[in-house]
């Protein structure tokens, strides 16, 4: 199976799994509607794809890792809903559609995001074919990645502190984006009971992938096409945020993205079946959305 076929197989499985969530008839059906509006709005699904690929590379049936992969995707979507709110980035578009609060109002958008986070941990707790010890490991990894010393800390640095230096921006990007991508890789390793050395290499790969991913996002916020990128171009500059592009320029940032790809690939170069991971790292360099 080539890269495109495998990525498509992962995406289809992820979409099918997510589409089965929040479908029950409830007296508070607007909540489920708002959740599904964001959760099923598409996107690259790079994080759950990573989970499934590392589960496969660990020698397990990757379908068994779907609860772990989709749990992380629930947390990711909660963060996007909240990130778009007027008190945060105040964005009107996400993935080419009006943001959640523009459709459902701020109160329901906040509550939809609030619901997605605990529901993610429910998916892990109820994952079939996984031992209790395995589930606890997965819960710990996801909690660390999205909690007060992870993604939320990155959001605080991004919105409350006026970060303008290179070291500070590196920390913002690591916490806001990188730790969740690293967690995605580690969840796949946990699902497959991968040896510690390989697990460390998987995390290192994902850390460089996440760093390059965020740098490329900063570039696209300046040079991208809004209809392709799916959200307003120039929103960081308009809100007064300083990014790596402001400090280093587009060309220097693109070189950093390319270097991240090289270093990500080096982290798993000793793995016999690294073709998918290498191509994913290469795709990051030139992505336009």
pLDDT at res. 288: 73
pLDDT per position as a tens digit, 69-97: 999 999 999 999 999 999 998 999 998 89
Q: Provide the CB-side half-sphere exposure for 80 (13 A, CA).
A: 25
Pairing outcome for strands 97-98 and 93-94: antiparallel
Q: What are phi and psi of 97, to 5 degrees?
A: -125, 160
CB-CB neighbours of 80 under 10 Å: 21
pLDDT in tens, 218-230: 898 888 666 666 6
Is residue 98 over pLDDT 90?
yes
- CB neighbour list of residue 201: distance below 8 Å, 6 or more residues apart: 267, 268, 270, 271
Q: What pLDDT sits at residue 286?
A: 82
Q: Which CATH number goes with the domain that contains 196?
A: 1.10.600.10
Between CA 264 and CA 266 the distance in angstroms is 5
pLDDT band at 197 (very low <50, low <70, confident <90, very high): very high
Kindly state the average pLDDT of the residues 264-289: 91
Host domain of residue 114? 3-286
Q: Quick check: 240 pLDDT over 80?
A: no
Percent of the residues in the chain that have a pLDDT greater than 90, as a whole number: 80
CB-based contact 236:83 (threshold 8 Å): no
For residue 232, the SS3 value is: coil
CA distance 49 to 70: 9
Inter-CA distances, 102 with 91, 117, 227, Å: 9, 21, 18
Q: What is the pLDDT of residue 113?
A: 98
For residue 230, the number of C-alpha atoms closer than 13 Å in the C-beta half-sphere is 13
Residues 42-75: pLDDT tens digits? 889 999 999 999 999 999 999 999 999 999 999 9
For residues 197-208, give the mean pLDDT: 97
| Number of domains the chain contains | 1
Collapse the DSSP code of 93 into the 3-class scheme (helix H, G, I; strand E, B; otherwise coil) and give the result.
Answer: strand
Quick one: pLDDT band at residue 239, thresholds 50, 70, 90? low
């Amino acid at each position: 199976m080539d890269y495109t076929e495998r990525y498509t197989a992962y995406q289809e499985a992820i979409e099918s799994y997510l589409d089965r969530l929040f479908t029950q008839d409830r007296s508070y059906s607007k909540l489920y509607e708002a959740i599904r509006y964001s959760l099923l709005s598409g996107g690259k699904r790079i994080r759950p794809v990573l989970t499934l690929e590392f589960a496969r590379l660990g020698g397990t049936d990757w379908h068994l890792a779907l609860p772990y992969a989709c749990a992380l995707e629930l947390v990711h979507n909660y963060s996007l809903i909240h990130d778009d709110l007027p008190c945060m980035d105040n964005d009107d578009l996400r993935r080419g559609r009006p943001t959640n609060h523009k459709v459902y109002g701020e109160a329901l958008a906040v509550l939809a995001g609030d619901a997605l986070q605990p529901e993610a941990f429910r998916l892990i707790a109820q994952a079939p074919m996984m031992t209790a010890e395995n589930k606890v490991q997965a819960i710990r990894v996801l909690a660390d990645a999205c909690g007060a010393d992870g993604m939320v800390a990155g959001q605080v640095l991004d919105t409350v502190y006026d970060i303008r230096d290179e070291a500070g921006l590196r920390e913002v990007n690591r916490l806001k984006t990188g730790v969740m991508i690293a967690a995605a890789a580690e969840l796949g390793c946990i699902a497959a009971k991968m040896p510690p050395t390989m697990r460390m290499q998987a995390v290192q790969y994902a850390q460089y992938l996440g760093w390059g991913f965020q740098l490329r996002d900063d570039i696209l916020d300046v040079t991208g096409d809004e209809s392709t990128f799916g959200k307003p171009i120039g929103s960081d500059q308009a809100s007064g945020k300083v990014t790596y592009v402001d400090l280093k320029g587009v060309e220097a940032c693109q070189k950093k993205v390319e270097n991240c790809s090289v270093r990500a690939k080096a982290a798993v170069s000793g793995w016999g079946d690294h073709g998918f991971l290498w191509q994913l790292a290469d795709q990051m360099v030139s992505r336009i959305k």
